[in-house]
Amino acid sequence: MQKKLSFYLISLLLFLIVLAVASIFIGVYQFEEGSLKTISKILSGNEDINPSDYYVFFDVRLPRVLMAILIGSGLAVSGTCLQGMFKNPLASPDLIGITAGSVLFAAITIVLGSYVKAVVPEIIHFSLLSIMSFIGAMITMSFVYKISSTNAKTNVGVLLLAGVAITALSGATTGLLTYLSDDEELRNLTFWTLGSLAGATWTKVGILTAVIITSVVLLINKGKSLNAMMLGERDASHLGIPVENIKRRIVLLSALMVGASVAFTGTIGFVGLIVPYILRLVFKSNYYYILPLSAVCGSILLLGADTISRTIVPPSEIPIGILTSIMGAPVFIAILIRFKKSI
Interatomic CA distance for residues 198 and 277, integer angstroms: 28
Range of the domain at 279: 2-42+51-342
45-68 burial string, b = 16+ CB within 10 Å, else e?
eeeebeeebeebbeebbbbbbbbb
H/E segment holding residue 290: helix 287-309
Of 138, 129, 139, 137, nearest to 108 (Cα)?
A: 129
| Alpha-carbon gap, residue 152 to 232, rounded angstroms | 9
Task: Count how many domains the chain has.
Answer: 1
Total residue length of the chain? 343
Asked if 46 and 327 touch (Cβ cutoff 8 Å), the reply is: no
Distance CA 250, CA 221 (A): 12
The span from the CA of 85 to the CA of 285, in Å, is 12
CATH of the domain at 302: 1.10.3470.10
Provide the pLDDT for residue 35. 61
In the chain, the amino acid numbered 257 is M
Cα of first residue to Cα of last residue in the chain, in angstroms, is: 33
Consecutive 10-residue averages of pLDDT for the chain (343 residues): 86 95 84 67 68 83 95 94 84 81 85 74 69 83 79 69 85 86 80 82 91 94 89 83 86 85 85 89 89 95 92 83 84 75 62
Q: Would you state the pLDDT for residue 296? A: 96
Query: Tell me, what's the pLDDT at 15?
Result: 96
Q: Mark 266-300 as b/e (b = at least 16 C-beta within 10 Å).
A: bbbbbbbbbbbbbbbeebebbbbbbbbbbbbbbbb
Would you give the distance in Å from CA 199 to the centre of its chain?
Answer: 16
Look up the pTM and report it. Answer: 0.86
Instruction: State the pLDDT at residue 125.
Output: 60
